[in-house]
Chain A
């Protein structure tokens, strides 16, 4: 059973960089066949896709966040990470990591429990 777990600071100051890590267990990121993703949810709102990474390091980002987002992977630790720079209060959200297929078929079949990140001084 694949499990994902987000970790990182729950409080980030405005203008700083938000950094989160997703640790995958029960399966190897480097096995391929899946893209690994970050998705966020503003309080009481819907879901917003942030970006994807493949084990090779190939990435795709939401155009609305692309200038501030970096997603990286560490296959030796079976982890992938999110960095979001120059944060404001509008970046306060629950951040989820999730697994997706490699095509337009399927869906996000495994999710982390989510972690709330608050941007405040």
Chain B
């Protein structure tokens, strides 16, 4: 099983700041990685697929990068609605997909 480790567990920032979230895979997943945002009481929402492609309707302030084992989700300038939990998901050995444990982005 491919294990994804997200860091930090919690990130405290203020609106307008830049957020950088990390996801590291236990083995190479090429570019087969997705990112999701989850707000309290809601289902996750697909943000990024194939490591760097924004899903439909996702604002340009969200960007993804990386390949192999190291990936980054960047939010260029935080809006109040961006404070949520973010999960990465590997799809390298689809259908045996796995998720990271999540990073909580909280208001400082």
How far does the Cβ of A96 sit from chain B's closest Cβ, in whole Å?
Answer: 6
The majority secondary structure among interface residues of chain B is loop
The majority secondary structure among interface residues of chain A is loop
Which one of B19-27, B76-84, B94-102 contacts A? Answer: B94-102
Task: Please determine whether B55 and A112 come into contact, CB atoms closer than 8 angstroms.
Answer: no
Which one of A19-27, A77-85, A101-109 contacts B? Answer: A101-109
> Of all chain A residues, which has the CB nearest B47?
A107
Contact A46:B94 (CB < 8 A) given known A106-B34, A107-B46? no
Instruction: Give CA–CA (A66, B99) in the complex, Å.
Output: 18
| Number of residues of chain B lying within 8 A (CB) of chain A | 28
Q: Decide if B43 is an interface residue (CB 8 Å cutoff).
A: yes
Which of A35, A46, A104, A109 has the most B CB atoms < 10 Å from its CB? A104
Chain B 13-50 interface mask (CB, 8 Å, partner A; 1/0): 00000000000000000001010100000111110111
Task: Please determine whether A111 and B44 come into contact, CB atoms closer than 8 angstroms.
Answer: yes
Q: Decide if B71 is an interface residue (CB 8 Å cutoff).
A: no
Task: Please determine whether B43 and A96 come into contact, CB atoms closer than 8 angstroms.
Answer: yes
Task: Please determine whether B87 and A47 come into contact, CB atoms closer than 8 angstroms.
Answer: yes
Could you say which of A35, A104, A113 contacts B43, with CB atoms under 8 Å apart?
A: A113
Contact A48:B36 (CB < 8 A) given known A105-B50, A107-B91? no
Q: Decide if B72 is an interface residue (CB 8 Å cutoff).
A: no
Task: Please determine whether B34 and A47 come into contact, CB atoms closer than 8 angstroms.
Answer: no
Instruction: Give CA–CA (A49, B100) in the complex, Å.
Output: 11
Task: Please determine whether B95 and A35 come into contact, CB atoms closer than 8 angstroms.
Answer: yes
Question: Which chain A residues lie closer than 8 Å to B67 at the CB level?
Answer: none
Task: Please determine whether B34 and A107 come into contact, CB atoms closer than 8 angstroms.
Answer: yes
Could you say which of B48, B87, B92, B100 contacts A104, with CB atoms under 8 Å apart?
A: B92
> Of all chain B residues, which has the CB nearest A102?
B94
> Of all chain A residues, which has the CB nearest B33?
A107
Task: Please determine whether B44 and A108 come into contact, CB atoms closer than 8 angstroms.
Answer: yes
Instruction: Give CA–CA (A106, B46) in the complex, Å.
Output: 9
How far does the Cβ of A59 sit from chain B's closest Cβ, in whole Å?
Answer: 9
8 other contacts beyond A107-B46, A108-B36, A114-B43, with CB at 8 A cut-off?
A: A47-B36, A47-B87, A49-B97, A96-B44, A104-B92, A106-B91, A107-B34, A113-B43
